[in-house]
């Protein structure tokens, strides 16, 4: 049987089905309440008391714990924490402020430009990339400025050093002081001992590579700035 004959038979079957449905519909139109489902046999009505809420606290959902810190407050907090200007701390191609280029990904709105009157309801797929981009660029800028001097925030470690020894008492103290300062500025709190140890570990060699002091400072700033408690509140 050829494909065209099969197609014709299928079309005829569909047409027959359509006509049947049409006939049923036409019959239904004769009734005033045709769109209602038929009333099924039911129990006699009784007078019910007013409804009362029956609580089940064991099944209570967890309340929404976080609010997303979106584009403008995120950029403002970063700029204030790192003593930078929001428009210059991160620029795409050296021209456009990241906060404008990544505004939508960062949850901001753009009412006058693209007519986006409200930011997206929740972070999207590119939000982590945009956050990483913004924070890393701002941290790198801060460390660069402090390396050129006079240092404002990363003041204790030697930013010219090719490596930092976290097991050396003096270097360790300097690293803790700078990490604590970054914690206070970015998260408005002191770090825990466990958090400090993680940050100090960033200075240790890995895969044969030892981070320089500038790289450690940038990574430390980045690690703190991208913490959940900086991105949500």
Partner 1 sequence: MTRTNARAVRAIRFGGLLGALGVLTTPMLAAARPTGPSVLCETYPDAPQCSGSLGTCSTCHTSTWPPAWNGYGLAVMAQIGEGTFETSLPTALRALDAIDSDEDGVANADELLLGTNPGDPGDAWPWCAPETPTGPVPVASGYDFERALRRIAITYCGRQPTYDELATFRAGATSSEVQYERLHAAVDLCLGSPTWRRVGLRRLVDARIRPIGAVGASSPVGIVIGDYEWDYRLFRYVMTDDRDVRDLLLADYHVTESSDGTLTRVEGRVPAAGPTGQPLDPERRAGMITTSWFFAINTMFSAMPRTTAAQAYRAWLGMDIARLEGISPIEGEPRDVDQRGVTQAQCASCHSTLDPLSYAFVPYEGIAGGRTGVYDPLRGSRRIEGWSAPPTYLLGEPVTDVRDWAEHAVGTEAFARNLALMMFRDALGHEPSPSELAELRTVWRALERDGWSANRLVHRLVDTQAFGGAR
CA nearest neighbour of 71 among 50, 40, 102: 102
Nearer to partner 1, 162 or 233 (CB): 233
Supply the minimum distance, in Å, between the C-beta of residue 52 and partner 1.
Answer: 8
If one asks whether residue 85 binds partner 1 (CB under 8 A), the answer comes out as no
If one asks whether residue 111 binds partner 1 (CB under 8 A), the answer comes out as yes
Binder among 9, 13, 118, 173 for partner 1 (CB under 8 A): 118
The dihedral over CA atoms of 94, 96, 97, 100, expressed in degrees to the nearest 10, equals -160
If one asks whether residue 55 binds partner 1 (CB under 8 A), the answer comes out as yes
Supply the minimum distance, in Å, between the C-beta of residue 110 and partner 1.
Answer: 9
Q: With the C-alpha atoms ordered 100, 97, 230, 189, is the resulting torsion angle positive or negative?
A: negative
The continuous run of DSSP H or E covering 219 comes out as helix 213-225
What is the rounded CA–CA span in Å between residue 28 and residue 144?
79
If one asks whether residue 228 binds partner 1 (CB under 8 A), the answer comes out as no
Size, binding site for partner 1 by CB under 8 A? 55
Supply the minimum distance, in Å, between the C-beta of residue 211 and partner 1.
Answer: 27
Neighbours of 174 (CB within 10 A): 18
Q: Are 212 and 162 in contact (CB under 8 A)?
A: yes
**Contact positions with partner 1 (CB under 8 A) in 169-188:** 184-185, 188
| DSSP single-letter state for residue 44 | P
Q: Are 88 and 137 in contact (CB under 8 A)?
A: no
Binder among 2, 3, 5, 61 for partner 1 (CB under 8 A): 61
CA nearest neighbour of 139 among 89, 96, 91: 89
Q: Where are the alpha helices (DSSP H) in 149-210?
A: 169-187, 193-201
**Contact positions with partner 1 (CB under 8 A) in 4-43:** 21-22, 24-26, 28-29, 31-40, 42-43
Nearer to partner 1, 3 or 42 (CB): 42
List contacts with partner 1 (CB under 8 A): 21-22, 24-26, 28-29, 31-40, 42-43, 45, 48, 51-57, 59-61, 63-65, 67-69, 72-73, 76-77, 80, 109, 111-113, 115, 117-118, 121, 184-185, 188-189, 233
């Amino acid at each position: 049987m050829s494909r065209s004959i099969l197609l014709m038979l299928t079309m005829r079957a569909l047409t027959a089905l359509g006509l049947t449905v049409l006939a049923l519909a036409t019959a239904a139109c004769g009734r005033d309440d045709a769109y209602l489902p038929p009333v099924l046999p039911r129990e006699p009505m009784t007078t019910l008391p007013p409804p009362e809420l029956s609580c089940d606290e064991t099944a209570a959902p967890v309340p929404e714990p976080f609010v997303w810190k979106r584009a403008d407050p995120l950029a403002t907090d970063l700029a204030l924490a790192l003593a930078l200007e929001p428009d210059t701390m991160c620029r795409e191609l050296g021209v456009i402020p990241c906060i404008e280029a990544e505004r939508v990904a960062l949850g901001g709105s753009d009412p006058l430009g693209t007519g986006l009157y409200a930011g997206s309801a929740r972070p999207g797929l590119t939000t982590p990339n945009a956050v990483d981009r913004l924070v890393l660029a701002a941290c790198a800028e801060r460390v660069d400025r402090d390396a050129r001097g006079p240092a404002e925030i990363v003041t204790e470690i030697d930013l010219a050093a090719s490596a930092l020894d976290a097991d050396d008492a003096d270097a360790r103290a300097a690293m803790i002081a700078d990490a604590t300062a970054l914690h206070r500025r970015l998260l408005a709190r002191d770090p825990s001992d466990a958090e400090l140890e993680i940050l100090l570990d960033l200075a240790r060699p890995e895969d044969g590579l030892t981070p320089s002091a500038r790289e450690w400072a940038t990574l430390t700033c980045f690690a703190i700035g991208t913490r959940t408690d900086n991105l949500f509140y």
